[in-house]
A and B are shown apart, each in its own frame.
Chain A
Amino acid sequence: MAAKTLTIDGHLVSARPGAMLLETIREAGITIPTLCHLDGLSDVGACRLCLVEIEGQRRLQPACMTTVSEGMVVHTNTPRLRSYRRQIVELLFAERNHVCAVCVASGNCELQRLAALVGMDHVRYEYMSVAYPVDISHPRFGIDHNRCVLCTRCVRACDEIEGVHTWDVSGRGIDSRVITDMNQPWGTSTTCTSCGKCQLACPTGAIFPRGVTVGERPHASERIALIVEARKQRW
């Protein structure tokens, strides 16, 4: 099949048929923020940070869930998109208790980097300041729900890469929470293999190895893609 030709931010770009817009944008060297996307995992279009404007379409579309098509004209960085992206990041900071100064992931955190990328110099919304639990019942890892952004990367890494599906999401809307097994303490999970892929996939300091303190949790989400790539090689 012939390659698709589309226009992204005024540049002509070609992509293979069936390619997703997000990878095409990135291959063209254009920076676009994402949070719920992680190379190696399926996409869910949850965070809305990669929304783009497509000419002829009234609705904004998430680049990670949109397939390229011939003649598509895409804008990735308009004032409207920049304003929405900043708003999204502000709402994430306002919803739970993200305190970079006391976080294990500080300096290695995707949310912290996003704040800088979208120019969020302050949060215009009132902080919700709701107390969320911290579960350190697992011998090797902990989860601090105060720092969770509900990207579900842990859920997908556990299901798709480890093949276990210990993690899932309970509740709706603002009451949503990632849970282990039947909403029980992580340490009592009978399915968890303690592989740590959830911890690798986590963009913030929500899931962390026990024993690390401020700024000590390295960012290692790219290892998920390495694992997927390594498994493709058959000897």
Chain B
Amino acid sequence: MSRLRIATIWLGGCSGCHMSLLDLDEWLIELAARAELVYSPIADTKHFPPDVDITLIEGAIANDEHLELARTARRHSKIIVSFGDCAVTGNVTALRNPLGPSQNVLQQVYIEHSDPGGVIPYEPGIVPVLLDKVVPVHQVIPVDYYLSGCPPSAPRIRALLESLIEGREVAVDVRFG
């Protein structure tokens, strides 16, 4: 049996979900026997590859780069998992939404609450442009499974991955926060 191709991506989140993934400790060695990590912030690859079986998406959609990567991942993946509360709900990343459109947020953070007065970063092509509203992943691409948690614990990540790899019915428990 050929190894499954797994990818993980890190959008608007703190990387805590990836830390929790690494918290799987020695089970990662077992996982490596059954699956190959073809794209990830913890793998040395520049471009999202084609023909991915499972992609875990950590983080909410907060800027144009996230939006593009999420769409690419959807095009190239059979299964998309919203991985953790930011991907599922927007969570902490979306706390800026009540402050209004991105210009208001940047104004408050970089000018009003900056001492001494700062400048709003503007480097087209280098610094991604913030979206006006941070949204959960399923608002921009279809998502197949949702793994809540901030972060989801290692045993819950393992349970989901095992059922996906073995093609069993996936029963994900709900646990926000």
Contacts and interface: CB of A to CB of B under 8 A. Distances in A.
A127 B174 CA distance: 19
B94 interface: yes
B95 A99 contact: yes
A131 B108 CA distance: 15
Nearest to B100: A131
Question: In the complex, which of the residues A121, A131, A132 has the most CB atoms of chain B within 10 Å of its own CB atom?
Answer: A121
Q: Sorted from nearest, which 10 A-B pairs have the closest CB atoms?
A: A100-B177, A131-B98, A129-B97, A101-B150, A106-B177, A121-B146, A100-B176, A116-B174, A122-B146, A101-B177
Nearest to B16: A101
A123 B136 CA distance: 9
A107 interface: yes
Question: In the complex, which of the residues B135, B145, B148 has the most CB atoms of chain A within 10 Å of its own CB atom?
Answer: B148
Contacts of B174: 115-116, 119-121
A122 B149 CA distance: 12
Given A100-B150, A101-B85, A129-B97, A122 B136 contact: yes
A208 to B, nearest CB: 15
A97 B98 contact: yes
Given A112-B177, A121-B148, 10 more contacts: A100-B85, A106-B177, A107-B177, A119-B174, A120-B174, A122-B89, A122-B148, A129-B97, A130-B98, A146-B98
Contacts of A112: 176-177
Interface of A: 93, 97, 99-103, 106-107, 112, 115-116, 119-123, 126-127, 129-132, 146, 215
A116 B146 contact: no
Interface string B7-51: 000000000000000000000000000000000000000000000
Contacts of A132: 98
Instruction: Decide if the interface of chain B is mainly helix, strand, loop or mixed.
Output: mixed
B113 to A, nearest CB: 16
B3 interface: no
Contacts, number: 65
Interface residues of B, number: 28
A101 B97 contact: no
Contacts of A99: 89, 91-92, 94-95
B88 interface: yes
A146 B136 CA distance: 19
Nearest to A146: B98
Interface of B: 82, 85, 88-92, 94-95, 97-99, 133, 135-136, 138-139, 143, 145-146, 148, 150, 172-177
30 contacts: A93-B89, A99-B89, A99-B94, A99-B95, A100-B150, A100-B176, A100-B177, A101-B91, A102-B95, A106-B177, A107-B177, A112-B177, A116-B174, A116-B175, A120-B174, A121-B145, A122-B89, A122-B136, A122-B138, A122-B143, A122-B148, A123-B89, A123-B136, A126-B135, A127-B89, A127-B94, A127-B97, A130-B98, A131-B99, A132-B98
A127 B96 CA distance: 12
Contacts of A126: 135, 139
B91 A122 contact: no
A29 B85 CA distance: 33
A130 B97 CA distance: 8
